[in-house]
């Protein structure tokens, strides 16, 4: 599988959080924007559905993907809420009188929550990938790449 295909597949649900951004050094000023964009995309069911409609899925494939998305959606939403709360706490702690150790501990918690979210997203991608034919997977990759580019340049 090509590197471009792997990168495009990771854009499931057009979530801008990728494995690399989760493991990268955090930009605290950008976290709220990332979480906001992710939440907006998660709440936009028509966006994901239109992408999957373009893949000419069979009814069986559609049913399986809907079930996968429903199974994982609540977990992802909960993970986003947990991340948002921990990030807000960290932001408040940075300007308060907390010790470096307290800040490091909270920072570690935020990083773990990001990894947990990325893992949930990745597992969802893997399950959906099993449902698609190789041709549909290629098309999905292209569509998701286009969606990511349009989010970068609104």
pLDDT of residue 147: 85
pLDDT of residue 8: 37
36-67: pLDDT as tens digits = 444 444 444 445 557 778 888 999 999 999 99
pLDDT of residue 54: 87
CATH entry, 3-152, from 1.25.40, 1.20.120, 1.10.3470, 1.10.287 = 1.20.120
Q: CA torsion sign, 119 to 122 to 127 to 130?
A: negative
Domain range summary for the chain, segments of one domain joined by +: 3-152
Three-state SS annotation for 77-140:
HHHHHHHHHHHHHHHHHHHCCCCHHHHHHHHHHHHHHHHHHHHHHHHHHHHHHHHCCHHHHHHH
- The whole-model pTM stands at 0.63
Judge contact between 109 and 25, C-beta under 8 A. no
Query: Residue 13: which region, alpha, beta or left (left: phi > 0; alpha: psi -120 to 50)?
Result: left
Across the chain, mean pLDDT equals 76
Which DSSP string corresponds to 27-47? Answer: -HHHHHHHHHHHHHHHH-HHH
């Amino acid at each position: 599988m090509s590197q471009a295909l792997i990168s495009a597949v990771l854009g499931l649900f057009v979530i801008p959080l990728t494995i690399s951004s989760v493991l990268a050094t955090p930009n605290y000023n950008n976290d709220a924007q990332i979480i906001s964009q992710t939440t907006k995309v998660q709440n936009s069911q028509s966006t994901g559905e239109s992408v999957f409609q373009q893949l000419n899925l069979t009814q069986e494939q559609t049913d399986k993907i809907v079930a996968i998305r429903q199974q994982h959606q609540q977990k992802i939403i909960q993970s986003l809420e947990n991340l948002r709360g921990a990030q807000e706490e960290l932001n408040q702690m940075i300007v308060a009188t907390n010790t470096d150790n307290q800040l490091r501990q909270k920072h570690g918690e935020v990083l773990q929550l990001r990894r947990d979210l990325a893992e949930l997203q990745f597992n969802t991608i893997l399950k959906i990938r099993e449902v698609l034919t190789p041709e549909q997977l290629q098309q999905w990759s292209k569509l998701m790449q286009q969606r990511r580019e349009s989010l970068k340049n609104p």
